[in-house]
Amino acid sequence: MHQNMKTNRLIKYTLFSFCYVFWVVSGLMLAVGIYAKTVTEAGAVDSLTADPALLLIIVGCLMFCITFIGCIGALRDIQILLRIFMWTLLIILVLQITGAVLGFVFSGKVLRKSEKLLDKAIIRYRDDLDLQNLIDFIQKKFKCCGIKYYSDWSKNMYFNCSETNPSLERCAVPFSCCIMDTREILNTMCGYETQELKPWSAQNQIYINGCLDSIVKWGHQNLLTISGLALGLLVLEIFMVSLTVLLLHQIQSVKKIIRRTTQK
């Protein structure tokens, strides 16, 4: 590239700054994903859905490569890299919008899929410590128990209420279902035999409503915040695409000027 060629520094370094920030974030995601993958055992989470650690690695790696291309392209005014960055970002934008529209249109199907996922999580609760901690966190956070009702825990072989079940946890629910004061000492046996209680008796000891409705309700209550974050990300991506287009246009203009000057 011609040594006298110059593009707008504000556009160049604004684009570079955004790419650099996302590049650092993607590097952190990649590091966390690799760490999580190496220190945790593969188990129920792998068979439940896509492994969260693997997802972090894949997303982090893609973001790392894309934003690195954007950084170098913006800093060095390399058209091919800027075009790759721009088209990749446009494809991601289209996929995000398509995913949001499909999620809205097929919200019922999404709920049914979520129910199946939670159902599998309950069945495999004792098979993986990470999965167990995740479910306990959800139940404590949303003050819920099971999918639709506390009796859903009977689907787990350890908590099943059948007479032939030899488990000490027969007809129990996890401790995370229990109504506890934060000042109380944790009693991991607080949910024992609660499935045998009638709802009006059980509700004094445990949360009886399922987590699916609680999560959906939380989503509705925080719809503005979630929508705002999603819209903010879309606007930022559109802004970065626009900066890339402007920079490419400037590079083309400067090249034409240089070509004309050279011909003269």
Residue 198 corresponds to which tokens in the numbers above? 């009638």
Cβ neighbours for 219, distance < 8 A, ≥ 6 positions apart: 226
Q: By three-state DSSP, how is residue 178 classified? A: strand
Beta bridge partners of 178: 206
Helix (H) or strand (E) holding 215: helix 211-221
- Whether the per-residue pLDDT at 4 is higher than 50: the answer is no
* Mean per-residue pLDDT, 233-237: 90
pLDDT in tens, 6-41: 677 888 899 999 999 999 988 888 888 787 777 654
CATH superfamily of 77-263: Tetraspanin (1.10.1450.10)
Domain positions in the chain are 77-263
* Mean per-residue pLDDT, 150-173: 92
- Whether the per-residue pLDDT at 5 is higher than 60: the answer is no
Instruction: Label residue 3 by pLDDT band (50, 70, 90).
Output: very low
How high is the pLDDT of residue 68? 93
pTM equals 0.71
Report the percentage of the chain scoring pLDDT > 90: 38
- Give the CA angle between residues 247, 253, 258 to the nearest 5°: 125
pLDDT in tens, 123-146: 999 887 878 888 999 999 999 999
Measured between alpha carbons, how far is 85 from 66 in angstroms, rounded to an integer? Answer: 6
